[in-house]
Chains A and B, each alone.
Chain A
Amino acid sequence: MPFLEINNVSKSYPFRGVQKPILTNINLTMEKGEFVCIVGYSGSGKTTLMNLIGGLVKPDAGEILLGGKKVDGPSLDRCLIFQNYSLLPWLCARKNVELAVTQAFPNASRAEVTDRSVAALTKVKLGHALNRKPHELSGGMRQRVSLARGLAMEPEILLLDEPLSALDALTRSELQEELVRLQEHEKTTLLMITNDVDEGILLADRIIPLSAGPGATLGEAIPVTVARPRDRKLLNGDSAYHRDRKEVIHYLMSNGPRDIRAAAAKAKKATELTHNIMMTEVPGL
């Protein structure tokens, strides 16, 4: 039995008096311990999908099952890491994490709660900024606090909504490694949304493209064939990487918003044209 199962889920929101479909016929299955990346356009309903799995919003149709149980509201073993950090501005970094830890481990002592929180913040390299308020932290640091809050809760599945988008390249790669470690050692199931195809290939077991909205839907899963452990420095010379990347981008281009689709068609025509010219002219040479 798959760990996470999404069956024919649809969601629409009222927009200027009419129901506007956001997601239609979403189907997804994930095994325990799997790392799946969803790659898609901004504004295509990725965050809505995360909120659905997180239990913050209810689907109009279809159902979401986690470990065989229907998702009906939020739960502490499904931890959602928000794209906009969502830290409480009146609490310092440590207190923000502690609030989550007290909820996830209700029997933990005061000292244990603090220890776990500090450990999680140290893991994301914020050991020096424990007592700073969110407004005293940079965007990237806030994102890391938000990540630490999720890690400290040790959930069964981490739902990550573009968690690394605001980070500099170095911190980003460090945290990517942390996510890989989490999957390998803690057997955490990870579902991550990203708009970075390369990040998906580096981290995920499978990449699932999300078509552009309105009424976005998930495409066929693309298994990442690059062997683990994956080294970002060697990725560029790996033929599997180029094959996977091409496949994801091909799906996104042909299922993108109308203007991108047109551009893709034009580009295709242009290549055909050059191809024809080449074909006709080469013999002439």
Chain B
Amino acid sequence: MLGFLLVLVFWYISSKTWAKFLPDPIKTWEVSKEYIIKPFEKRGEMDQGILRFTWYSIVLVAKGYALALIFGTPLGFLLGMSKLFTKLFDPLIQVLKPISPLAWLPLGLVLFQKSEPSALFTIAICSMWPTVLNTAIGVRNVPQDYINVGRVLKLSKFKMLYRIYIPATLPYMFTGYRLSLGIAWLVIVAAEMLTGVPGVGGFLWQEYNALIYEHIILCIIAIGLVGFLLDRIMMFGEKRVAGFLS
């Protein structure tokens, strides 16, 4: 709590000294309170309550994130199970992983010609790597003992997958899912800024252009809090899954 207070003080002093264009905390609250007190109000396409905007962003992230998991999890299994597959695709993944969302988005626009699918494409392709890599590590680390049980019991390939490999990999998969969600939320702002889709990131960029700097701060705080909450929810899920295995 003291940390937050110190930042507020630093923010206030900054706005009065070296950052003359930065609105101070009090002014930020006054200009933004309309958006916070009526968080779900819709006054226009780009003039809505902060939670309403956030909700749009969450929905968009959820879709892109779902795509990331749907493609990333099986890809991780393939990487973990097949040495040949690892040799073929691991270098490619290492090259694709560090590419910024700002680079993927224009490619998405070229591919899909529409803003929403290209935003989804960007979120999915940027956020799937932790899921892919963690799942692969999890599959490689399935204890030989469990695999031996499966072999002695003559489990079919399919049963081996869903009775042994998937449950044994679940904790790793969940760590990947949590990291992926964090990235998906990071990407959303960039995606919305460039595509102009309504949402917390699109609002932020619009208000910068409209010179209402208070709303930039409002958006930043909203983005941070939502990201924090999402991470906490995932951490809870992760712990539950780890408990299921211990």
List A residues at the B interface (Cβ < 8 Å): 54, 56, 73-76, 79-80, 82, 84, 86-90, 99-100, 103, 135
Contacts and interface: CB of A to CB of B under 8 A. Distances in A.
A259 to B, nearest CB: 31
Given A88-B164, A90-B245, A99 B153 contact: yes
Interface of B: 145-146, 148-149, 151-155, 163-164, 167-168, 244-246
Nearest to B149: A86
Given A74-B151, A82-B148, A103-B155, 19 more contacts: A56-B148, A74-B152, A74-B154, A75-B154, A82-B149, A84-B145, A86-B149, A87-B149, A88-B146, A88-B149, A88-B164, A88-B167, A90-B167, A90-B244, A90-B245, A99-B153, A100-B153, A103-B153, A103-B154
A88 B153 CA distance: 12
A82 B145 contact: yes
B238 to A, nearest CB: 15
A166 to B, nearest CB: 15
A247 to B, nearest CB: 34
Nearest to B156: A103
Contacts of A82: 145, 148-149
Contact of B152 (A79, A88, A89): A79
Nearest to A101: B153
A80 B146 CA distance: 13
19 contacts: A54-B152, A56-B151, A74-B154, A76-B154, A80-B152, A82-B145, A82-B149, A84-B145, A86-B146, A86-B149, A87-B149, A88-B146, A88-B149, A89-B245, A89-B246, A90-B244, A99-B153, A103-B153, A103-B155
Contact of B163 (A74, A86, A89, A99): A99
Contacts of B168: 90
